[in-house]
């Protein structure tokens, strides 16, 4: 009888299982947590402010947690600790009835949950590089889990939004149990540098001296800003157009399934052939079309259909960016690079989306323009500007 040796895995099966399950919770949270806060009595503007506070704190907390993960004897311990803390906070949040307490727990939950993906992605890529596995198909199993749970939760939560908590706690408890069986990441000895070479933070940000890295990060920022606006307002917009929880669940299932062609087959080969920089140009071009449709439609099913464009946008970001930074980061700062660069750019993008978006939302209401439609209209020139900047930088690099 064969026994599973987690320190010497013969196949990536455990990673497929882990990604499939961890995205159960991600689907529930991404689709319905904002709606829970809204139905608890928090105005949309207050939720935007709350998200802004979370992002500001993340700018300081995530890089610290990244360095802790890089210096730990194994990154798996950090992953399990963060999962345990997130589960505990979710339980406490489910019992809270005071809006201020709910907001406090929401902030604490984000601080422990957000860096989890950087840790398990780094562990995954370490073993992918070591054993010759491909990261894309492993991440695809997460897409399938996300789609299944989005569809199921859309119908399961109908009329009982508070049920997100037992569903989330169950999902992340399963994730924690599977994480115990993940192969242990190797500890990389910290590089001792001279004072002239700078701190760990300076060493990580030094990769931005590379023109290609800077170019990719600029386009990633534009994508993240547009995506943040959509994530914040999609659920409310769908309801305003006449949709319900079922439609929102279906929309997020479509969002997940749209990734599949770009993890396997022709889509995967196409992305590998054109490279990260050019694929980011495609991401912004598709975004221009997508946000135009969102701004023009009055039909919740058309809005749902726009989620089918998510795959061609998201896959180059989640696969390309993670691998791109992993390859460019110092050997002893792999997680720190993800939290300090990729997550920091996302955080800044969300901050702009929340604070500027909330301000524009109020302005559009005042002048009689549909506020969410107005925000989608603003995303169109933003994506076009990103395309111009990205294409110009690529042309300069090649000349």
The 3-state DSSP composition of the chain as helix, strand, coil percent (nearest 5) reads 85, 0, 15
For position 202, what pLDDT does the model report?
73
The CA-atom distances, in angstroms, between 305 and each of 2, 148, 337 are: 46, 17, 35
In a domain, residue 368? The reply is yes
How many structural domains does the chain have? 1
For position 19, what pLDDT does the model report?
92
In a domain, residue 192? The reply is no
For position 383, what pLDDT does the model report?
92
Q: How far is it, in rounded angstroms, from Cα 221 to Cα 315?
A: 15
Look up the CATH number of the domain holding residue 124.
1.20.1250.20
Q: How far is it, in rounded angstroms, from Cα 15 to Cα 345?
A: 27
In a domain, residue 190? The reply is no
In a domain, residue 194? The reply is no
Mean pLDDT by 10 residues, the chain (399 residues): 54 91 82 77 75 80 81 87 93 87 88 85 86 84 83 72 85 93 74 52 71 80 88 83 81 77 67 77 91 92 89 74 71 71 79 81 86 92 90 75
3-class secondary structure, 265: helix
Strands (E), 99-208: none
Number of H helices, E strands in the chain: 18, 0
In a domain, residue 1? The reply is no
For position 309, what pLDDT does the model report?
87
Q: Long-range CB contacts (< 8 A, 24+ apart) of 78-85?
A: 78/119, 79/116, 79/119, 79/120, 79/123, 79/179, 79/182, 80/176, 80/179, 80/180, 82/112, 82/113, 82/115, 82/116, 82/119, 83/116, 83/172, 83/175, 83/176, 83/179, 84/176, 85/112
Nearest 10 degrees: Cα torsion 374, 375, 379, 382: 90
Full domain range(s) for residue 110: 13-184+202-398
């Amino acid at each position: 009888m064969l026994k599973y040796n987690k320190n010497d895995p013969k196949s990536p099966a455990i990673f497929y299982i882990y990604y499939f399950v961890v995205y159960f919770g991600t689907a529930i949270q991404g689709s319905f947590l904002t709606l829970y806060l809204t139905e608890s009595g928090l105005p949309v503007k207050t939720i935007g402010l709350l998200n802004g506070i979370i992002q500001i704190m993340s700018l300081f907390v995530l890089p610290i947690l990244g360095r802790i993960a890089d210096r730990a004897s194994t990154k798996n311990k950090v992953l399990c600790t963060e999962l345990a803390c997130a589960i505990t906070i979710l339980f406490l949040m489910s019992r809270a009835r005071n809006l201020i307490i709910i907001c406090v727990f929401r902030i604490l939950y984000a601080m422990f949950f957000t860096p989890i993906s950087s840790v398990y992605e780094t562990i995954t890529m370490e073993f992918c590089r070591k054993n010759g596995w491909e990261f894309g198909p492993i991440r695809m199993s997460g897409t399938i889990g996300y789609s299944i749970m989005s569809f199921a939760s859309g119908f399961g939560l109908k009329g009982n939004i508070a049920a997100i908590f037992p569903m989330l706690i169950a999902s992340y408890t399963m994730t924690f149990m599977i994480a115990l069986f993940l192969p242990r990441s190797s500890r990389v000895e910290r590089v001792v540098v001279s004072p002239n070479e700078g701190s760990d933070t300076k060493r990580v940000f030094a990769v931005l001296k590379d023109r290609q890295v800077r170019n990719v990060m600029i386009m990633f920022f534009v994508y993240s800003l547009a995506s943040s606006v959509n994530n914040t307002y999609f659920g409310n917009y769908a309801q305003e157009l006449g949709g319900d929880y079922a439609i929102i669940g279906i929309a997020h299932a479509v969002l997940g399934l749209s990734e599949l062609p770009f993890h396997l087959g022709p889509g995967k080969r196409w992305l590998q052939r054109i490279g990260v920089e050019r694929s980011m140009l495609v991401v912004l071009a598709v975004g221009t079309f997508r946000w135009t449709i969102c701004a023009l439609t009055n039909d919740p099913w058309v809005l749902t259909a726009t989620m089918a464009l998510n795959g061609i946008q998201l896959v180059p970001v989640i696969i390309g960016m993670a691998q791109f930074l992993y390859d460019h980061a110092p050997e002893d700062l792999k997680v720190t690079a993800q939290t300090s660069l990729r997550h920091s750019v996302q955080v800044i993008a969300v901050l702009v989306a929340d604070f500027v978006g909330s301000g524009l939302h109020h302005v559009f209401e005042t002048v009689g323009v549909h506020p969410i439609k107005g925000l989608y209209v603003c995303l169109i020139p933003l994506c076009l500007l990103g395309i111009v900047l990205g294409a110009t930088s690529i042309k300069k690099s090649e000349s």
